A and B are shown apart, each in its own frame.
Chain A
Amino acid sequence: MTFDEIFHITLMQGFAGLSLFAVLLLMGLGLAIIFGQMGVINMAHGEFMTIGAYTIFLMSALTEAYAPGLMQAYFPLAIVCAFLAAFAFGWLAEWALIRHLYKRPLDTLLATWGLSLAMQQTFRSVFGPKEVSPTLPDWLMGSWEITEGLDIPINGMFVLGLTLVVTGGVLLAMYKSRWGLRVRATVSNRTMANAIGIDTRKTDRLTFAIGCGIAGVAGAAFTTIGSTGPTSGSLYIVDAFLVVTFGGAASLWGTVVSAFGIAQTQSISEFFLSGSMAKVLTLLLIVGILMMRPQGLFAAKVRR
C-alpha cells in the first residue's frame, strides 16, 4: 500500500465519521431542545423524524406524477415541508398530550412511547409495511472524486452541509432571538418568566413544535442515505437520547461535541471491529462515562 492510498483511506474514513456526526447531530438537535431545554422525554422523537422522511417521499411521488420537470428542484422545498409537517404534528402532540404531563417526566416517557406506537401503526396503515425511498434528484447522486482513489459521496456532503446550517440556525435562534431568550428564561425559572410576562405555555408549545420540526428535517436528510419504513424512527431513539445526555442535557454545545465524539469513536472502531461490536463498544463507552459523570460532558454549576 502506498502512502497515497493510506492517506486516502484515512480521509475517507474521517469523512465517514463526519457523516455519522452529521446524522447524530441532526437527530440530537431536536431532542436537545425538547429534552435538554424543556426536560420532556419524547420517546416519539424518532417518529417525528419518520414524518419528515415520509413527507419527502410524498413530495417526490407528487412531483414525479404532476411536475416531472421539477424533479431537480423539489428537494429543498420538500425539506421545508418536512419541517412544517413535523412542526404541525408536534404542535398537536403538545396540545393533546405533553402539556398535561410536565413535571411527570417518567409518565411522559410512557405516554410518548404510546404515541410512537400509534404513529408507527399509522405509517404502516398509510404507507404500507415496506420500506420506501424517494426518487432523489440527480445532483444528490454519485460521489465527488477529488483525486484518483479519493471519493467523497455527495449525499454525505449534503447531509453534513444541512446539519451545519440547521445547527447554526438553532444556536443563533437560541442565543440571539426573542424566542430563544424566552425559552432560556422559561427553562431557568418558569415562575419568574411567567411573572415578567412570558407566556410560558405558548413558549412550551412553540419550543416543542420547533424541536419536532428539526426532527422532521433530520428525517428528510436521512432519505438521501437510506430508505424509510414505519419503524425506522425507533432505531434512532436510543442513540438520540444518548447523544443529548452524554453532551450534558442542558447544553446545546454539549450536544454538538458529544455527537462528534460518539461518531468518531464509532467510525474509528468500525475500522477495526465488526459493525455490531463497534456499536457495542461505543455504547459501552458512553454508558461507562455517564456512570462516572452522570451530568454529561457539559454541565452547568448552580448553587443549590
Chain B
Amino acid sequence: MSNTDFVLAVEGLTVSFDGFKAIDDLNLYVDRGELRVVIGPNGAGKTTLLDLICGKTKASAGSIKFKNTEMTRLPEHMIVRAGIGRKFQTPSIYENLSVFKNLEVSFPRGRGVFGALGFKCDDAVQAKVDEVAAMIGLADRLDLEAGLLSHGQKQWLEIGMLLMQDPELLMLDEPIAGMSARERELTADLLNRICQNRSVIVIEHDMDFVARIAHKVTVMHQGKILAEGSMDKVQSDPKVIDVYLGH
C-alpha cells in the first residue's frame, strides 16, 4: 500500500464476529482539516468502525493508516498518543472530579506511572485548561463537580478532554444525542471551530445537524460504504434513499 497525503487511510478493513462481518472490506480516506460525517441505519457498523480505528476492537483484516503509520497492531493508548482522540456515545467523564481535574488529567504529560507521580500542574497546564474551558463554554464551571453538569455540558466536557491532547484526528460518536436545540447549535459552532486545524469524524443521525457541519458525508450500510460525497449528492443518491426508506 502506498503512502498518501490523507490523515487517515482505511483500506480493506474487515472485522467478523463469529462469521458475521460487521465491517466488510471497507475503504475510507479522510483529508487533513476535513470534517467527515458518517451516517447509516442502525447496525451499519458505524460505531464498530470507530472502535476499529481507535483500537478498541481488533481488525480481522485490512489496514488503518494514520499519517502513513499502521495503527491496527498498536495498543489503544499508543493510538491515542499518535494523535487519535475518541469520544464515546454516552458522555464518559469522571463524574466525581471537578471540571478542572477532568481537563487536567487529560493533559498529555506524565502518562507513565512515574511520570504521573511527578506530574505538577504548572502554568502550561493551567493555560491549556483555561483555553479549552473557554472553547467548550465551561470557563466559569471549572470548580464544579463534573457529575453536576447538564447532559449537554458533559458532552462538551468530554470533547474538551480530547482537545486537551490536541489530537490530529478527533472521532465523535453521536455528540449531540440528548441535547436541546440551543445546545445543538452551540455544538455545531464548536465543531466548526475545532476542525480548523485538525480532522474530525462524526457519527450522527440528525440530518439538519449533519448539513450544518459536514464537509463530506459517508453513508454506511451493512458494514460497507454505500455512498460518499457532499450532503446534497448523498441525499439524492437512489441507493441511499432505498436503504433509509425501503426497509
**A contacting B, Cβ–Cβ less than 8 Å:** yes
Task: Write the chain A residue with the least CB distance to B19.
Answer: A301
Give, as a whole number of angstroms, the nearest-CB distance from A255 to chain B: 21
Interface size class of A (residues with CB under 8 A): under 10
> Which residues of chain B are near A301, meaning CB under 8 Å?
17-18
Chain A contact surface mostly: loop
Interface size class of B (residues with CB under 8 A): under 10
User: Is B114 an interface residue, CB under 8 A from the partner?
Assistant: no
Give, as a whole number of angstroms, the nearest-CB distance from A248 to chain B: 15
User: Is A103 an interface residue, CB under 8 A from the partner?
Assistant: no
User: Is A100 an interface residue, CB under 8 A from the partner?
Assistant: no
Bound Cα distance from A256 to B78, whole angstroms:
40
Bound Cα distance from A303 to B19, whole angstroms:
11
Give, as a whole number of angstroms, the nearest-CB distance from B60 to chain A: 12
User: Is B136 an interface residue, CB under 8 A from the partner?
Assistant: no
* Contact flags B49-66 to A (C-beta < 8 A → 1, else 0): 000000001000000000
Bound Cα distance from A127 to B217, whole angstroms:
75
User: Is A302 an interface residue, CB under 8 A from the partner?
Assistant: yes
Bound Cα distance from A301 to B57, whole angstroms:
13
Bound Cα distance from A301 to B58, whole angstroms:
13
Residues 29-72 (chain B) with a chain A CB within 8 angstroms: 48, 57
> Which residues of chain A are near B20, meaning CB under 8 Å?
303
Bound Cα distance from A256 to B20, whole angstroms:
28
> Which residues of chain B are near A302, meaning CB under 8 Å?
17
> Which residues of chain B are near A303, meaning CB under 8 Å?
17, 20, 22, 48
Residues 6-20 (chain B) with a chain A CB within 8 angstroms: 17-18, 20
Task: Write the chain A residue with the least CB distance to B57.
Answer: A304
Residues 270-304 (chain A) with a chain B CB within 8 angstroms: 301-304
Give, as a whole number of angstroms, the nearest-CB distance from A222 to chain B: 39
Residue among A301, A302, A303 with max Cβ neighbours from chain B (10 Å): A303
Give, as a whole number of angstroms, the nearest-CB distance from A17 to chain B: 34
> Which residues of chain A are near B18, meaning CB under 8 Å?
301
> Which residues of chain A are near B57, meaning CB under 8 Å?
304
> Which residues of chain A are near B22, meaning CB under 8 Å?
303
Give, as a whole number of angstroms, the nearest-CB distance from B135 to chain A: 32
| 8 smallest beta-carbon distances between A and B, as pairs | A303-B17, A301-B18, A301-B17, A303-B22, A303-B20, A302-B17, A304-B57, A303-B48
What would 8 A/B residue contacts be, using CB atoms closer than 8 Å? A301-B17, A301-B18, A302-B17, A303-B17, A303-B20, A303-B22, A303-B48, A304-B57
Interface, chain A (partner B; CB < 8 A): 301-304
Having A303-B17, A303-B48, one finds 6 other A-B pairs with CB under 8 Å, namely A301-B17, A301-B18, A302-B17, A303-B20, A303-B22, A304-B57
